[in-house]
Amino acid sequence: MVALEKSTLTRCWAGIAARIGKPRAILCISAHWLTDGTAVTAMPEPRTIHDFGAFPQALFDVRYPAPGDPDLALRVRELLSPMPVALDHGWGLDHGTWSVLVHAYPEADVPVVQLGMDLSKDPAAHWEVGRRLRPLRDEGVLIMGTGNIVHNLPAMDWNNPAAPPYDWADRFNAAMISAIAEDRPQVVIDFEALGEAAHLSVPTPDHFWPLLYVLGARHDREKAEFEADFIHHKSLGMASVLIGAS
pLDDT on residue 5: 80
pLDDT on residue 32: 95
DSSP secondary structure, 128-185, as one string:
HHHHHTGGGGGGTEEEEEES-SSB-STT--TT-TTSPPPHHHHHHHHHHHHHHHTT-H
Q: Which segments in the chain show pLDDT lower than 70?
A: 3-4, 246
In sequence order, the 6+-apart residues with CB closer than 8 A to the CB of 216 are: 126, 127, 128, 129, 130, 131, 132, 133, 134, 185
What 3-state DSSP class applies to 112? strand
DSSP secondary structure, 13-39, as one string:
HHHHHHHH---SEEEEEETT-EESSEE
Note the pLDDT tens digit of each residue in 221-240: 899 999 888 999 999 999 99
- Domain chopping of the chain, boundaries: 2-243
Note the pLDDT tens digit of each residue in 175-189: 999 999 999 999 999
By CB atoms closer than 10 A (0-12, 13-18, 19+), residue 240 is: middle
**Dihedral in degrees, nearest 10, Cα atoms 226, 200, 175, 222:** -50
pLDDT on residue 111: 98
Query: Is the domain defined by 2-243 classed in CATH 3.40.50.300?
Result: no
In sequence order, the 6+-apart residues with CB closer than 8 A to the CB of 160 are: 233, 234
| CA nearest to 205, candidates 120, 93, 99 | 120
Query: Helices 95-104 and 8-20: crossing angle, nearest 10°?
Result: 70
pLDDT on residue 56: 77
